[in-house]
């Protein structure tokens, strides 16, 4: 089996061209990671089968008409955007920073699910009695300046978008320089020195997406394969970072974590 791999630096502008390249190569199936990549692939072809992995809110952004009956040439594994953002803020407030009064959320407005993720965090903030400030970020060079401009912020979270994921090491470093307790979407951030992450188990999502790719290569039609949702989630904590921030991790939380990095 031959693979053709295309990626960007987290920006969205190149995606249409990259998707068109794959279609021109007459690949048998396209595997798309992130909502923006899946949308670019869908716009590039109505005939080449597309499988997406870890995409937020595929119905709301117009990828498929429904999860049970995706129709067309696209299916995959989805995530509830608003729900995950809210749960991260809840975890930050209730387990890690009980004194949290004001939090900031770094956002990437061009991303198609950015607004939904922000709405989920805002809804959770209202329930938790936390003031949430949205901080738009256009590019990686904005990380430090955006965080330095914050005043009176007790904690940090971010929209789960390719910009932040691609440059996670720089985001983690910027948060450390600002001495802000931060919760991230993926384990890779904690591996890079971030405090804590909570989200869908990414390797499991890709294994399930690979199963769909295999079925399609064996003759199945994407329209007949319902969009699946995550069944495994992982919570990862970096104790070294917690100590550097002067945080005490409750024993009850340590009993729940899937991995502790020391």
Residues 6+ apart with CB under 8 A from 191: 261
Closest CA to 162 of 114, 122, 209: 114
Q: Do residues 62 and 39 touch, judged by C-beta distance below 8 A? A: yes
Q: What is the CA radius of gyration of the chain?
A: 19
Q: What is the pLDDT of residue 81?
A: 62
Distance CA 149, CA 144 (A): 9
Cβ atoms within 10 A of the Cβ of 135, count? Answer: 16
Q: What is the pLDDT of residue 2?
A: 80
Q: What is the pLDDT along the chain (262 residues), one digit of tens a residue?
A: 788 888 887 778 899 999 999 999 999 999 998 899 999 999 999 999 999 998 988 999 999 999 999 999 999 999 876 689 999 999 999 999 999 999 999 999 999 999 999 999 999 999 999 999 999 998 989 999 999 889 999 999 999 999 999 999 999 999 999 999 999 999 999 999 999 999 999 899 999 999 999 999 999 999 999 999 988 999 999 999 999 999 999 999 999 999 999 8
pTM: 0.89
Closest CA to 122 of 104, 110, 109, 138: 104
Distance CA 77, CA 117 (A): 17
Distance CA 99, CA 82 (A): 24
Q: For each of the domains in the chain, give its residue range(s) and CATH number, in order of start.
A: 15-79+203-231 (3.40.50.2300), 81-200+234-261 (3.40.50.2300)
The two tokens of residue 21 are 């390249």
DSSP state of 131: E
Strand bridging mode 233-238 / 196-200: antiparallel
Residue labelled with tokens 């929209």: 159
Q: Looking at 80-213, which runs of residues are DSSP E strands?
A: 102-107, 131-136, 155-158, 183-184, 196-200
Q: Do residues 28 and 217 touch, judged by C-beta distance below 8 A? A: yes
Q: What kind and span of H or E run contains 54?
A: strand 50-56
The two tokens of residue 51 are 């499988």
Q: What is the pLDDT of residue 82?
A: 66
Q: Do residues 54 and 227 touch, judged by C-beta distance below 8 A? A: no
The two tokens of residue 67 are 């999860």
Q: Do residues 77 and 208 touch, judged by C-beta distance below 8 A? A: yes
Q: What is the pLDDT of residue 5?
A: 86
CA 48 from chain center: how many Å? 25
The two tokens of residue 54 are 């870890």
């Amino acid at each position: 089996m031959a693979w053709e791999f295309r990626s960007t630096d987290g920006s969205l502008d190149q995606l249409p061209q990259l998707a068109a390249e794959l279609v021109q190569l007459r690949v048998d199936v396209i595997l798309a990671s992130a909502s923006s990549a899946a949308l670019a692939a869908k716009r590039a072809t109505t005939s080449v089968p597309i499988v997406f992995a870890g995409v937020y809110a595929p119905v709301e952004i117009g990828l498929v008409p429904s999860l049970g009956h995706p129709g067309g040439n696209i299916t995959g594994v989805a995530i509830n955007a608003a729900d995950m953002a809210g749960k991260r803020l809840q975890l930050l407030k209730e387990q890690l920073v009980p004194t949290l009064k004001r939090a900031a959320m770094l956002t990437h407005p061009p991303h198609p699910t950015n607004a939904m993720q922000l709405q989920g965090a805002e809804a959770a903030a209202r329930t938790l009695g936390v003031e949430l400030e949205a901080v738009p970020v256009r590019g990686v060079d904005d990380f430090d300046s955006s965080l330095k401009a914050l005043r009176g912020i007790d904690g940090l979270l971010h929209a789960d978008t390719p910009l932040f994921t691609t440059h996670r090491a720089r985001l983690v470093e910027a948060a450390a320089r600002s001495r802000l307790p931060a919760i991230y979407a993926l384990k890779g951030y904690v591996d890079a020195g971030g405090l804590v992450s909570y989200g869908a188990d990414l390797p499991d999502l890709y294994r399930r997406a690979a199963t769909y790719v295999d079925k399609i290569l064996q003759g199945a039609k994407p329209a007949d394969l319902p969009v699946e949702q995550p069944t495994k989630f992982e919570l990862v904590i970096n104790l070294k970072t917690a100590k550097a921030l002067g945080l005490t991790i409750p024993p009850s939380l340590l009993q729940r974590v899937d991995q502790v990095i020391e």
